[in-house]
């Protein structure tokens, strides 16, 4: 599952010039727009459009597997975040955590429509493309990029060319906790829980290891994918999505009078042997009313991605939970939520 999800996410290869020397705030201060010339598309536009179409059609299914998507997002963008850390001294862990949180692991409307992974608004002096999106106010102006990698580059420029973030660069490059708190203090976000959310992502997904790699002089190779692999991924993703769409949230099938292991296998696209292993069956005998597992216990840990205007009450109601149960399940101390936040619901 993770393997083809990673392929699905990865369509770009970044060519970063090692001779580029703009590493200080003074040297980058005059830069207003990140260049798209450093990014090359591997697959054709037609192939990428087909992928986008498939993802859009199956987006509802994908929401139940945020962890997989977040891992795929990290695997795709970790090399870019590490390169930005080498050039601009911003911890890769902070950059990745911000990208995950601000873009919903690359799947927010802003990220999908404008490749803006950090929620950076136009601000005075922005000369690049623009897109209008409802945020704190209706129809706010946000920066638009041709490629996600350019958004990462502009994120670095945004922090290094503004005086209010200058104090951050006096912190240790592996002190992600102080960086997270410093971003909030400098006014990057209005959410009082912003630092805690960044730290949670960094520790949950061990993003600090990318800081350590940079400080030790290690690197990761950029990943590219051929059109043949994209087509194969599309086929696999469609089949997987169709199978999972038929499986209810609990991952359970209640045996009916005319059911057989073969008919159940065909309905859900799961091999008979796999169903038998999941349920500890030694033969093909099943009984009406019997509950059969269709996913392993680890796969049945469902998550919900918070969308705009959703509340704890609306989410709890959707999953037949009480607000208190949902808060306890996710160790929440208040009713505050942020778009893209992942909530355990099972």
Residues 315 and 194 in one domain: no
> Tens of pLDDT along the chain (346 residues)?
444 444 444 433 333 433 333 334 443 433 444 544 444 444 556 665 665 666 565 554 544 444 577 888 888 899 999 999 999 999 999 999 999 999 988 888 889 889 999 989 888 778 889 998 776 667 789 999 988 889 999 999 999 988 889 999 999 999 999 999 999 999 998 888 999 999 999 988 889 999 999 999 887 654 444 556 556 655 655 565 555 555 555 578 889 888 999 888 888 777 888 888 888 888 889 998 888 887 655 444 466 777 777 888 888 877 777 888 888 887 787 778 877 677 777 6
Within a domain: residue 288?
no
Confidence (pLDDT) at 126: 82
Within a domain: residue 120?
yes
Confidence (pLDDT) at 230: 53
Residues 172 and 317 in one domain: no
Q: Tell me, what CATH number does 33's domain have?
A: 1.10.530.10
Within a domain: residue 272?
no
Confidence (pLDDT) at 194: 93
Q: CA nearest 177: which of 201, 161, 212?
A: 201
Within a domain: residue 254?
no
Overall size of the chain counted in residues: 346
Confidence (pLDDT) at 313: 81
Within a domain: residue 274?
no
Residues 196 and 60 in one domain: yes
**Boundary (domain end) residue, out of 165, 191, 215:** 215
Find all residues with CB under 8 Å of 8, minimum gap 6, and list them. Answer: 51, 55, 72, 233, 237
- Hey, what are 182's tokens? 């410093």
Confidence (pLDDT) at 179: 96
Within a domain: residue 246?
no
> Residue 250, Cβ neighbours under 10 Å: how many?
13
Residues 318 and 191 in one domain: no
Q: What domain count does the chain have?
A: 2
**Boundary (domain end) residue, out of 215, 237, 261:** 215
Phi and psi at residue 263, to the nearest 5° = -65, -35
Phi and psi at residue 68, to the nearest 5° = -65, -45
* Residue corresponding to tokens 């997987």: 240
Confidence (pLDDT) at 47: 61
**Boundary (domain end) residue, out of 215, 248, 275:** 215
Within a domain: residue 284?
no
Question: Which residue(s) pair with 13 in the sheet?
Answer: 40
Within a domain: residue 47?
yes
Q: Tell me, what CATH number does 313's domain have?
A: 3.10.350.10
Residue 84, domain extent:
2-215
H or E segment to which residue 252 belongs: strand 252-254
């Amino acid at each position: 599952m993770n393997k083809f999800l990673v392929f699905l996410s990865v369509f770009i290869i970044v060519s970063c010039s090692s001779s580029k020397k703009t590493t200080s705030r003074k040297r980058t201060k005059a830069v207003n727009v990140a260049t798209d010339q450093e990014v090359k598309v591997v697959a054709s536009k037609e192939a990428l459009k087909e992928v986008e179409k498939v993802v859009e059609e199956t987006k509802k299914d994908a929401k139940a597997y945020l962890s997989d998507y977040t891992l795929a997002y990290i695997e795709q963008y970790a090399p870019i975040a590490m390169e930005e850390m080498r050039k601009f001294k911003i911890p890769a862990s902070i950059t990745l955590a911000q990208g995950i949180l601000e873009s919903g692991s690359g799947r927010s409307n802003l990220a999908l429509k404008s490749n803006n992974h950090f929620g950076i608004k136009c601000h005075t002096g922005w000369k690049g493309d623009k897109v209008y999106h409802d945020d704190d106010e209706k129809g706010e102006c946000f920066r638009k990029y041709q490629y996600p990698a350019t958004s990462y580059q502009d994120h670095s420029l945004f922090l290094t060319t503004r005086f209010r973030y200058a104090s951050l660069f006096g912190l240790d490059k592996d002190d992600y906790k102080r960086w997270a708190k410093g971003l909030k203090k400098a006014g990057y976000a209005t959410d009082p829980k912003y630092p805690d959310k960044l730290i949670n992502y960094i520790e949950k997904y061990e993003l600090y290891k990318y800081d350590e790699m940079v400080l030790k002089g290690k690197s990761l190779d950029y990943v590219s994918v051929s059109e043949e692999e994209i087509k194969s991924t599309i086929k696999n993703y469609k089949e997987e999505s169709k199978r999972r769409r038929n499986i209810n949230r609990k991952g359970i099938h209640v045996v009916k009078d005319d059911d057989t292991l073969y008919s159940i296998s065909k309905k859900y696209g799961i091999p008979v042997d796999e169903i038998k292993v999941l349920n500890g069956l030694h033969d093909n005998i099943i009984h009406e009313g019997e509950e059969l597992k269709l996913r392993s216990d680890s796969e049945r840990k469902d998550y919900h991605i918070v969308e705009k205007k959703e509340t704890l009450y609306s989410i709890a109601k959707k999953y037949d939970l009480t607000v208190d149960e949902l808060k306890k399940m996710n160790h929440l101390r208040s009713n505050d939520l942020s778009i893209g936040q992942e909530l355990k619901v099972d």
